[in-house]
Structure 1
Amino acid sequence: MKKYETIGELLKDLRTEEKITQSNMASILNLTSRTLGRIERDEVQRLNKKSKHLLTENLKVPPQVVSNLSSEIKIPTYYSIATRRYSLSKLYLRLNQANLDYAYAGNVIGDGFSISSNMDVDDIHEYDNHIYPTENPIQKSVILKSAEVLPELNLIYRDDNYYYGGHVVVIPLSEDCYSQIRVNLKNEGKIETTDLMQPSERLPILYVYSCYANCCDISILLIKKAFNGLKHLVRSGRVSKRSILAGYAVTNDGIDMAENAGLEKIFEAPEEFIEYGTQQTPSFYENRIANTRISKYL
């Protein structure tokens, strides 16, 4: 992450990273090129309300980052354009074991997190394609069906203005489908709803398809909420400690969570690192819940 002091500095880097001309960026933000130039040179220190909204809506910069850098009293903010994550401190640039232990050990109160609409899935797809630009993303129907079967583990975070801030998607795969993914990394876009377990069935495989949050605090909130859901599933008997927890990680946070939870790396896909330009070499992880570090909290 880079430390930003002004909105102009961020806009210049964003244009370079996304290969956007100054004229096109001005159009995206409903500004004149002259005004945008003055902002980038820090001659103008703030965006108007409409441009703030457009920066978040069109270029997916978290609203807190926009607010921090474009207010009368500015708050220097660490931000990664590549992963769309921010932090106010160097201490929270990446998840660490203390963060995760806190998430596993606590409880979170509140409802309204479960994935439930096409809009939710569109936001998840948009982020996932930014991080891992496969031509065959997982089907919307699979995510919605997973949320129906496992509402406790399929979560989305939105702020008070309904801006998207993160998600967790866990797919209750059948053993047959999982065995194909594990051996051949079957194209996830070919998973059908018929490959999922049903609400009344015990769940042998929990496949973590995607997990993201735009800051550490939201990461902890979503992990805490999902872990409470897993705890409920284990105690109700729908998930056994012999069940397999698995997933494919391509980011720092994904690998941190997998390794800190005690999942074992099964294989890497360096060719995908080259093809897709992912943050980390894509790696497949798995373990039985009983053998993970999180088992003691269940």
Structure 2
Amino acid sequence: MNSYNSIGALFIDYRNFYNLSQSDFADAINVDLRTVQRWEKNLTLIKSEKEENIVLATLMPYQLIHNLNAVVPIPTFYNFKTRKYSLSKQTNDLPKLSWFIDQIEITSSNLRTIEFDYDFKYIEQFIDSQKRDNNYVNAELIKEAIRILPELNFVHTGKSGYYTGHCIVLPINEKTYNRLKTKEITNKDIRAKDLVDFKTLERPIFYRYDITGDCNDTIFYVMAHFFRFFRDLENKNYLMCGYTERDDNYQVNLQIGLKFIWEDKALQKELNLEAPPRFFEGNFNNFLAQL
């Protein structure tokens, strides 16, 4: 993570990371070129009503923009690859699993089930920008997942009410699971008709579609809520599976009881990824037995 003390330095690094000119950046956030130039020289601040537009266009966390867009900025760390911010260097790394075990009962009033009409614009833009193979967000699929499994389809918002992270989990049928596992289909092929009421199945299958947070605190609340669901689930004969292109939680996934079924090194090379895309499955029974 880099430490930022001004909004101008952040915007310059953002443009360099994505290879954008000042004009490109101005067009993306719908302002004139001179406005961007003034921001980058820290001559003027961003109007408060413009902050959300910048968040939506850049997917940088609202709190990061808000911290730096002030007469007296709050120094903030940020990583463009993971899209996580932090207020101190000591809290940059992913926390150890004991963090969740020891504090799993801590809840957040800022967690709520996804309100599709309000939240979808954030979720769609974030996922579409993160996935670099043939993945995309299917609106009807997300709607059905919310209806069937509201407990695991939720968002987290910051103190200001802005989106800070989400969890999307699909209760899928056996046929869809097998087709995903054998690489016959990918995320882009899953449809609302592939979802089922998990409570009626002898072996429920949950597909981790996407989980994210803008900082470690957000990730804690999201994952603690996620783990509490499986801790309290009566039917322990469940299967959790999913697909990931990221490597920052590889060891964590292994420690919580998931195993990797396949990895695609050819796709890694094609998409210029740091780690090979992987399909994983397992359950959290042994991990949660430590509680």
Report the TM-score, using the length of structure 1 for normalisation: 0.85
How far apart are residue 252 of structure 1 and its match? 4.1
CA–CA separation in structure 1 for the residues paired with 2:264 and 2:44? 44
Shift in alpha-carbon separation, 1:138–1:37, aligned structure 2, 3 A? closer
How far apart are residue 88 of structure 1 and its match? 1.2
> Matched residue of 1:134: which SS?
coil
> Matched residue of 2:151: which SS?
coil
Which structure 2 residues correspond to residues 67-86 of structure 1 after superposition, within 5 A? 67-86=66-85
Which residue matches 1:145?
Answer: 144
Aligned length, in residue pairs: 289
Shift in alpha-carbon separation, 1:147–1:253, aligned structure 2, 3 A? farther
> 1:195-233: per-residue Cα shift (whole Å, max 9, x none)?
22226413521111111001111111111222222233x
Which residue matches 1:133?
Answer: 132
Are 1:138 and 1:191, in contact at CA under 8 Å, matched by a contact in 2?
no
> Matched residue of 1:113: which SS?
strand
> Matched residue of 2:112: which SS?
coil
Shift in alpha-carbon separation, 1:48–1:119, aligned structure 2, 3 A? closer
Which structure 2 residues correspond to residues 1-298 of structure 1 after superposition, within 5 A? 1-29=1-29, 32-42=32-42, 44=43, 46-97=45-96, 98-102=98-102, 105-108=104-107, 110=109, 113-184=112-183, 186-198=185-197, 200-202=199-201, 203-232=203-232, 234=233, 237=234, 240-290=235-285, 292-297=286-291
> Matched residue of 1:71: which SS?
coil
Shift in alpha-carbon separation, 1:254–1:114, aligned structure 2, 3 A? farther
CA–CA separation in structure 1 for the residues paired with 2:102 and 2:184? 33
Shift in alpha-carbon separation, 1:16–1:199, aligned structure 2, 3 A? same
Shift in alpha-carbon separation, 1:13–1:182, aligned structure 2, 3 A? same
Report the TM-score, using the length of structure 2 for normalisation: 0.87
How far apart are residue 154 of structure 1 and its match? 1.2
Residue type at the aligned position of 1:128: I
CA–CA separation in structure 2 for the residues paired with 1:131 and 1:144? 20
Residue type at the aligned position of 2:143: L
Q: Structure 1: where are the runs of 5+ without partners?
A: none
Residue type at the aligned position of 2:178: S
Identical counterparts, % of pairs: 25
Shift in alpha-carbon separation, 1:193–1:48, aligned structure 2, 3 A? closer
Residue type at the aligned position of 1:120: D
> 1:78-107: per-residue Cα shift (whole Å, max 9, x none)?
11223321111222223221433345x324
Residue type at the aligned position of 1:293: F
> Matched residue of 2:74: which SS?
coil
CA–CA separation in structure 1 for the residues paired with 2:32 and 2:143? 41
Shift in alpha-carbon separation, 1:90–1:101, aligned structure 2, 3 A? farther
CA–CA separation in structure 2 for the residues paired with 1:36 and 1:109? 36
RMSD: 2.6
Shift in alpha-carbon separation, 1:32–1:183, aligned structure 2, 3 A? closer
> Matched residue of 2:152: which SS?
coil
Are 1:17 and 1:81, in contact at CA under 8 Å, matched by a contact in 2?
yes
Segment of structure 1 superposing worse, 47-56 or 240-249: 47-56
> Matched residue of 1:165: which SS?
strand
Residue type at the aligned position of 1:174: N
How far apart are residue 112 of structure 1 and its match? 5.6
